[in-house]
A and B are shown apart, each in its own frame.
Chain A
Amino acid sequence: MSNPGDKAHLEELAALHAVDLLDESARNKLLDAALYDLEIDSLVRDYAEAATLLAHEAPQINPPPELRSAILNQLPARRTASKIISFQQLIPYAIAACLMALAISQIQQITALKSQLVTTRADVDRLQASNALIGMRLTTLAARDASYASSIILVAWDPNRNQGVVSPNNLPPAPAGHDYQLWVLDPAAQAPVNAGLLTESRSFTVNPVSTPNPGFAVSLEPAGGSPEPTGSILFAVAPGA
């Protein structure tokens, strides 16, 4: 938040957002800004926490005692029916997806660089040592649209190589004339960095970013993609999150 005027305006928006007094346009402006700026993100969370204080204005009344056992008796014996998949549950699939995508990437590299034996050997040696996974960060992108709540976008990011693997799960086909597009959110960049269309699990590489923990977002763009986001942000995780 370099501009004090912007900061004051965004703080006003954050205050109103905490009690749902923003229209959709202002809310999107605030939440998009929070994606790129940890300070704004922190402001939004601060105000949300402050708004929760209002809950204590309600006169304190105990629920009927029988409600406790009624609720406890309704808990499913096992939570396998839950649609929500924990991050821990995803890790084995994420690693498998990473390994598969990395394997594809390796084959392509080796084929293309056959004539450059020395370079290829170094690359193969490095991958054989399994160093490619060291320091890799796994993150899930939160759905920002309720209609995508059952979809999961997983990104494995290797900050040493500015390379990642994105894996969409249960993502519905893009509407006719549109494509999903992946963006890397670098706090130091003027705009989201294009990481290509998102149709299936694949690897992607972008120019060096300023942080080892960039954010990621997925938007719905006109078919073929856009140089910068023009459509709704459907999934996102903030830098450093």
Chain B
Amino acid sequence: MEKAFHPAVNTDADEHLIAQIAKGERSAFAALYDRYSTPLYSLALKMLANEAEAQDLLQEVFLSVWNKAATFRAERGSAFSWVVAQLRNRAIDKIRSRRRHGELIEANAPDLEPADSGTLSSADQCEISERARVVRSALKEISDDQRQVLRLAYFEGLTQAEIAEQLEEPLGTIKARAQRGMARLRSILRALHE
């Protein structure tokens, strides 16, 4: 089976770290934290728009990585996707819980400014940031309307019907934009792989 690949991270190095974490190696855990903490914290902050909750979530996810490292299977996906999925699922649960309780916080967080690259703490973070920059540049190839639908689904956990209502577009239009956007993302991933 073809090994999973993710362009924003060094897949082989990360798999090795997860394997070491599964054996209880704290140094490997620290190394993985250094590699992933910025993109994961950024995603948590983007989704939750609340620093304290984003920090709590980052903590939950890294402790989960420590406890579940032995269940990671590289042939099922990259280590980065595995960790991002854990964070995103938990973030969406929190967002939906807020909605259920009518406590939806305004998404315009004042502190969502890009990090100064001079503050990055290690060579690993620099490598991750550079790779992420390449990915972000490639993502600009997706049309704005497709990107808008994907953002609402990915970062806010909205359903098709909720997106249709928010954008005042028919459900079929939303579905088609999401499918085309994802197809484009998949081709971008392949191009980055080559």
Residues of chain A contacted by B188 (CB below 8 angstroms)? 50, 53
Residues from chain B with Cβ under 8 Å of A48 in the complex? 77, 81, 85
Asked if A16 contacts B175 (CB within 8 A), the reply is yes
Specify the chain A residue showing the minimal Cβ separation from B76: A45
B186 pairs with A46, CB closer than 8 A:
yes
Q: Are B84 and A52 in contact (CB under 8 A)?
A: yes
Pick the residue among A19, A50, A53, A56 that contacts B153 (CB under 8 A): A19
**Distance of A210 from chain B, by nearest CB (Å):** 18
Chain B 117-131 near chain A by CB (<8 Å), digits 1 or 0: 001110001000100
Partner of A72, one of B2, B29, B75, B125: B29
Majority SS at the chain A contact face: helix
Q: Are A61 and B186 in contact (CB under 8 A)?
A: no
CB of B114 within 8 A of CB of A60, answer: yes
A68 to B, closest residue via Cβ: B33
Contacts of B153 in A (CB 8 A): 19-21
Instruction: Tell me whether B8 is interfacial, beta carbon within 8 Å.
Output: yes
Contacts A51-B154, A75-B66: A21 and B178 contacting too (C-beta < 8 A)?
A: yes
B38 CB to nearest A CB, Å: 5
Which residues from chain B contact A200 at a C-beta distance below 8 Å? Answer: none
Contacting residues, chain B, for A79 (C-beta < 8 A): 24, 66-67
Judge whether A58 and B70 touch: CB under 8 Å. no
Contact call B38/A62, Cβ cutoff below 8 A: yes
Is the C-beta of B90 less than 8 angstroms from some C-beta in chain A?
no
Q: Using Cβ atoms and an 8 Å threshold, which residues of chain B touch A42?
A: 1-2
Given contacts A67-B59, A71-B59, contact A19 B39 (CB under 8 A): no
Q: How far is the CB of B144 from chain A (nearest CB, A)?
A: 13
Instruction: Fill in one digit per residue for B139-156: 1 if any A CB lies within 8 Å of its CB, else 0.
Output: 100000000001101110
Q: Are B42 and A60 in contact (CB-based, < 8 A)?
A: yes
Whole-angstrom CA separation of A46 from B34 in the bound complex: 26
* Residues A49 and B4 in contact in the complex (CB < 8 Å), given A16-B178, A75-B26, A87-B70: yes
The complex places the Cα of A50 from the Cα of B81 at a distance, in Å, of 9
Task: Count A/B pairs, Cβ under 8 Å.
Answer: 179
Given A21-B160, A50-B186, A67-B59, do A61 and B112 touch, yes or no (CB 8 Å)?
yes
Identify which of A47, A56, A89 contacts B132 (C-beta below 8 A). Answer: A56
List chain B residues, Cβ under 8 A from A2. none
Pairwise interchain contact A47-B70, C-beta atoms closer than 8 A? no
A67 touching B175, Cβ below 8 Å? no
- Cα A74 to Cα B65 with chains together (Å): 13
Q: Is A3 an interface residue (CB 8 A)?
A: no
CA distance A48 to B185 in the complex (A): 10
**A78 proximity list for chain B (CB < 8 A):** 24
B17: min CB distance to chain A, Å = 14
Q: Are A62 and B139 in contact (CB under 8 A)?
A: no
Q: Are B81 and A58 in contact (CB under 8 A)?
A: no
For A241, list chain B residues within 8 Å (CB): 75
Residues of A within 8 A of B135 (CB): 53, 56
Given contacts A45-B77, A50-B189, contact A56 B8 (CB under 8 A): yes
Residues of B within 8 A of A (CB): 1-2, 4-8, 22, 24, 26, 29-30, 33-34, 37-39, 41-43, 45-47, 54-55, 58-59, 62-63, 66-68, 70-71, 75-78, 80-81, 84-85, 88, 92, 111-115, 119-121, 125, 129, 132, 135-136, 138-139, 150-151, 153-155, 157, 159-160, 175, 178-179, 182-183, 185-186, 188-189
Q: Give me the 4 closest cross-chain CB pairs, A-B, nearest first.
A: A86-B70, A58-B46, A15-B182, A63-B41
Q: A49-B189, A62-B37 are in contact. List 17 more A-B contacts (CB 8 A).
A: A21-B175, A48-B81, A49-B5, A49-B78, A53-B188, A54-B185, A55-B43, A59-B114, A60-B42, A61-B112, A62-B120, A63-B58, A68-B30, A74-B59, A74-B63, A89-B70, A241-B75
